[in-house]
Structure 1
């Protein structure tokens, strides 16, 4: 019966600093949802790539004690604040640091983007991006991690054709795609249309929803916006996606706007997580037959 359908809790996670700046608050929010996994971007207002060894050790020990799995590290490599002109040595250094953290956390995924332009011609921008991500992917292969390119900032951020070209020209098993359900709204494209073209290459998913307003993008609970979140999730599951759905609601935390979790951020994060679970159980799974939910 439809009422008995439940999405596996072990496949639900959230980006911790969406709920709280402090690490204890992040753990508490994940626990409040009765989830068992987290994606890490920053703890105690420090990006993972900048954590000193003692701080990282405390994070790793706490997660082990709580039996919370880390499903990915959301890096700054190639992101909205790292244009193509940023020194490449800085990118390689961050990758090395995060790969060491992945080894300690038994995690293999590192989120990247594909470098906003900084005055280059379209052809030079594309060439430089492809060169850099090929080099990063070779290093990732050596380090035993997998890079996940997100449909967000950069040369391949908004175009399925460019994402597929990126994968084809880099040609590395250490490069896959991360699909974010809500990024199409602020960036002006239909995310579900893009998803159809890249489905076989999606290895990780972020969940958010949003609407466009005269003042800009406003983020909503999953299912309340214009991102067609339920449709995207149905497409993924029907295609056999068996990975994690990682909540990134942007209700209180938006790094690209220098907005960190404050006030009732944890409450909003928990509410978004509860809504995601309901959306899956009542608007996604019942409309699928025999989908690969991994139960």
Structure 2
């Protein structure tokens, strides 16, 4: 069964989204990643690492080999899941701009339209103390991406400046660049005490161009399959559908373990997450492949 198969009682919809997912949550080997994504009916993959090496650290030879593997499997790349911005804001501006250059090169080789980024750690300080420094760095990143044909998508995540809807909105509007948009991650909002759809959707929807799929529980922040937590995933999917969203839905299950620069699920748990999201999509009358 692919993740696009609707239930017998679900409405049949004509809205279609492109299904993707974080391949390294399946396995370190991109051939295994690709095989599982294709088995789940996906047309795309999101690349964070391959052979245990982060995307910004892959050599030109490795990028070429990765491109060959994905082409052979018939998969396109939805996004480069970079670690850009997952560093302390005290580092010099050029630190992440230089690393973004490597992510842009990976996007060029792999044909990815998006690069995921973050808005900096700031341990021991209040958000308002670091706001100007964050905006300066995010602006520099956006300017570097402008004219490349690649759009940076900021992921809301705990412990960075852009964790709650108000600060995410402040960030994207202050930078005000066509090269900086938003990825929507409901689980991450839950983990900072936010009801994603209720408290953030209306404010952020004009800037959202990418959907990351995972859910979580308010009780303890545990990540669960989409639709089984407090992330208001169905309400968000329905609203995106009604707004004319036709972009990517990228599975990032985090069902086995999580760590600072990513997470892991394994093939079986990744499939569990995909089938759970398929139920959400079927309820909303959305097809994904």
Same fold (TM over 0.5): yes
2:206 to 200, 204, 216: 200
CA-CA distance at 1:184 after TM superposition = 1.9
TM-score, normalized by length of structure 1?
0.87
CA-CA distance at 1:90 after TM superposition = 2.9
> Aligned ranges for residues 151-190 of structure 1 at < 5 Å?
151-153=156-158, 154-158=160-164, 160-190=165-195
Matched, 1:86 2:87: no
1:43 to 37, 44, 50: 50
Secondary structure in 1 matching 2:183:
strand
**Greater alpha carbon shift after TM alignment, 161-170 vs 198-207:** 161-170
Per the alignment, residue 290 of structure 1 pairs with none
Partners of 2:105 and 2:17 lie apart in 1 by: 24
Matched, 1:248 2:249: no
Partners of 2:11 and 2:230 lie apart in 1 by: 28
Query: Deviation digits for residues 207-252 of structure 1, max 9, x if unmatched?
Result: 1012244xx4222221111212111111211122111110111102
- For the aligned residue pairs, the C-alpha RMSD in angstroms reads 2.4
Partners of 2:169 and 2:218 lie apart in 1 by: 28
| Compared CA separation, residues 6 and 34, structure 1 to 2 (3 A) | farther
Partners of 2:15 and 2:267 lie apart in 1 by: 22
| Compared CA separation, residues 23 and 173, structure 1 to 2 (3 A) | same
Partners of 2:133 and 2:162 lie apart in 1 by: 12
CA-CA distance at 1:121 after TM superposition = 5.2
Query: Deviation digits for residues 53-97 of structure 1, max 9, x if unmatched?
Result: 111111011111211010001111112xx1212343331122111
2:77 to 70, 76, 82: 70
CA-CA distance at 1:12 after TM superposition = 0.8
Partners of 1:276 and 1:122 lie apart in 2 by: 34
- Do the aligned partners of 1:13 and 1:246 also contact (CA within 8 Å) in 2? yes
Partners of 1:92 and 1:62 lie apart in 2 by: 29
- Do the aligned partners of 1:9 and 1:36 also contact (CA within 8 Å) in 2? no
TM-score, normalized by length of structure 2?
0.89
Gaps of 5+ in 1: 287-292
Matched, 1:32 2:39: yes
Secondary structure in 2 matching 1:12:
strand
Secondary structure in 2 matching 1:232:
helix
- Do the aligned partners of 1:109 and 1:147 also contact (CA within 8 Å) in 2? yes
Alignment size in residue pairs: 280
